[in-house]
Amino acid sequence: MLLIFTHKVTNRLTYTAKQIFEKILGVEMGFTTKVEDFIKHTGPKMTYSKQPLQNEFFIRSNDLLFEQGINDLEIKVSDWDGIPCFFSAGEKSTIPFDIFSASFFLLSRYEEYLPHVKDSVGRFPVKESIAYQNNFLELPVVDLWAYKLLEVLKERFPDLENKEKNYHFTPIINVTTSHAYAMRGISRTIGGFLLDLWRLRFRDIWERFSVMLRLKKDPYDNFFKLVDIHKKFPIKTMFFFQFAKHSAHDKNVSTNNNKFRYLIKSVADYSVVSLSTSFVSTMDKEVLREEKKQLGNLINRPISYARLRYNKVNVPATYRNLVETEFTDDFSMGYTHEIGFRAGTCTPFYFYDINTEVRQPIKIHPFAMHDYALIKYKSKEEVFEKMDRVYRLVKQVKGDFVLVFSNELLGGKQQLEWMELYQSILKRYYV
């Protein structure tokens, strides 16, 4: 066991050290505040404090993990053998920065508690993040730091044991609009037709009529094609369906539509089905509870996983609501229009609520990419050039490569052939 001596054991320190050593590295660890216990320990050990005791493995601590609440922090990014890092630790420290404070800053989403201007749908903007501003958004730095720390520890303690985890690949299909034209009801169909006419979208008018007259399949209705594709790969796939009342931001098919209900039940026979929450329910706990209950009743299974509309995570309120409505896992931690790691990691982690200084019982599964981040690329080769770099890093640290796709893009009219691209991505990254 790795023993860590520190002057004070706090919730923040326990949370962060367990994530790094136990969850990422598979290293058993413990803490002590007693010098005599530390000296007696014959196994691998390190000090995390302001000063070393003697000549031991030492990481000089920043104040962050021994504080409470939110404070204005000065972040200056430096370099650790090619990996960006921050919270410099000085010359006495065995490694040049406080890995625990830096990891906590990213995992807790500390910067999202600080004052910032939200975007048009109320999200934390990617350009406000330290990772984006310092060009390390595409690096799972917490995992890279952890493995580099393990390397340095093993140089000092060759007998240090760690249990390696495995790389995982998880494609997600997010369904907030199951059909472009079908199942929309008379008033919404007429409204859509008039809007297309007013905007002179004659191609859309023709497509709408073709779907209505059953001459053509709805472009967004690609669910069983996806199910067939998924059968070719030994991977866990998930569908997140919105199951909500109509609103300005939520325009899916009515939850009372029997064909829509049958579709969801049919997909649930082949894949994990969970809830893509509505925009309204991200701000109203009772609406969220009702959506969860209704979808669970439909597929006759408990709903434990959530994806938030527009990936609108507002800490800590969002995760408190998910906990109170008995969700166990969230798949919304990422940026819709940028590839990378919002929390600096590709390993699932539990949410730490800074306002209460408590680890909440909800596991966050960060995603590396939402397909809307790929729209800017003109060719399949460009997409893979970008994605391969991220994949290699996730594979290197044996992380989880979670990718989010929407049935709208997979069935829409874009520059790229999205369904073909999706199959290529599955084939390329599932191992």
pLDDT of residue 183: 66
Task: Give percent above pLDDT 70 in the chain.
Answer: 94
Q: What pLDDT, on a 0 to 100 scale, did the predictor assign at position 216?
A: 80
- What lies within 8 Å, CB to CB, of 157 at 6+ separation is 2, 43, 44, 57
Please check the confidence at residue 217 and state whether its pLDDT lies above 80.
yes
Q: Which amino acid would we find at residue 7? A: H
* pLDDT tens per residue, range 14-32: 999 999 999 999 999 999 9
Taking the alpha carbons of 189, 190, 192, 197 in that order, is the dihedral positive or negative?
A: positive
Contact of 219 with 203, CB cutoff 8 Å: no
Give the three-state DSSP class for 45. strand
Q: Could you read off the pLDDT of 125-183 as tens digits, one per residue?
A: 999 999 999 999 999 999 999 999 999 999 999 999 999 999 999 999 999 999 887 76
Residue 317 above 90 pLDDT? yes
pTM (two decimals)? 0.94
- 246 pLDDT band, cuts 50/70/90, is confident
Is a pLDDT exceeding 80 seen at residue 416? yes
- Across residues 244-272, what is the average pLDDT? 93
Segment 303-324 mean pLDDT: 97
* 403 vs 192 pLDDT, higher one: 403
In three-state secondary structure terms, 314 is coil
- Give the other-Cβ count within 10 Å of 238's Cβ: 19
Higher pLDDT, 248 or 125: 125
Q: Are the beta carbons of 65 and 101 closer than 8 angstroms?
A: yes
